[in-house]
Structures are given as C-alpha cells and as structure tokens.
Structure 1
Amino acid sequence: MLSHFHYREIKNNMINQEWDFDFYYKQNKYKGKYFKDGSITWYHQGAGDMEEKEQKFLEDCVHDLMLYHVYEEH
C-alpha cells in the first residue's frame, strides 16, 4: 500500500504535460516523473533494483492515482 502520495505539475502546455510525484512504500520514499502518455521516470536511487513485479505494481498504483487526481472530474 502506498502512503503519503503527493504530485506537483511541472509542465502543462499543448504539447507536453509532466508531474513530479513522491510517496512512501514499505518505509522507503520513492520519487519520479509522470508523463502525459503514462510513462514514468524513477528518481528513487533503488528504483533500478526493484523486482519487475514490484515495479509494475508501483507503476500501476501511480497511474491509477494520477488518473484519479488529474484527469477525473470531482
């Protein structure tokens, strides 16, 4: 379960949209950049060491949270 998810818009124009995000997972802080196309660039130092299954889970969670917070109207 992710906790303390935060995001911040860093670029928003007709061509490109980008957001920085961070959260905690298993007592580790993860950071990254989320792009309009759904791709993610990880800033977390240990992100390259994540198992593929765990990375997929975290990317799915971030994607769902970004859809909820950015794209859905509340």
Structure 2
Amino acid sequence: MITHFQWKPLFEDKNLPGWRISFYFKKQAFQAIYHKSGEIEWSGTKPDTEDESSLKSMIHELMLFHVYE
C-alpha cells in the first residue's frame, strides 16, 4: 500500500503537464516524475521488479483521483 502520497506540478504554468510525486511503499521512500502520457520516471531508488507493475497501477489511480478529477 502507498502511504504519504504527495504530488506537485513540474512547471509554474500549471497548464503544462507533468508532476513530481513522492510516497512511501513497504517503508521505503520513492520519488518520480509522472508524465502526462502516464509514464513514470523514477528518481533515485527504483521499486523491485515484482512490485513495479502493481505500484504503477496504484499511482495511476491516485493521479486520476487527484489531478484528473
């Protein structure tokens, strides 16, 4: 489960797509850039391969709820 999920626009012009996201997963901090296309660009620590698919799915859901509501 993702905890402490935060997001903010990459650019001052909030109409430009792209968001910086941060969260905790399995007691480990992660940071990434979430692109308009749905691509996630990991910054620093990458999640384990077996967790990455489900983690991306959870992030997409959270972004749909927070950004595209």
TM-score by length of 1: 0.82
- The question of whether the paired residues in 2 share the 8 Å contact of 1:29 and 1:44 is answered with no
Q: Which runs of 5+ in 2 are unaligned?
A: none
Higher helix residue share: 1
After superposition, the C-alpha distances for 1:4-51 in whole angstroms (9 at most, x for unaligned) are 0000111344xx511000000111001000011111100132x1x612
Query: What is the Cα-based RMSD across aligned positions, in Å?
Result: 1.4
Q: What letter is aligned with 2:40?
A: I
Tell me how far apart the structure 1 counterparts of residues 65 and 44 of structure 2 sit (CA, whole Å): 23
Moved over 4 A (4+): none
Equivalent position of 1:50 in the other structure: 48
Equivalent position of 1:63 in the other structure: 60
Tell me how far apart the structure 1 counterparts of residues 44 and 60 of structure 2 sit (CA, whole Å): 17
Identity of aligned residues (%): 33
Within 5 Å, which residues of 2 pair with 1:5-16? 5-11=5-11, 12-13=14-15, 16=16
Equivalent position of 2:22 in the other structure: 22
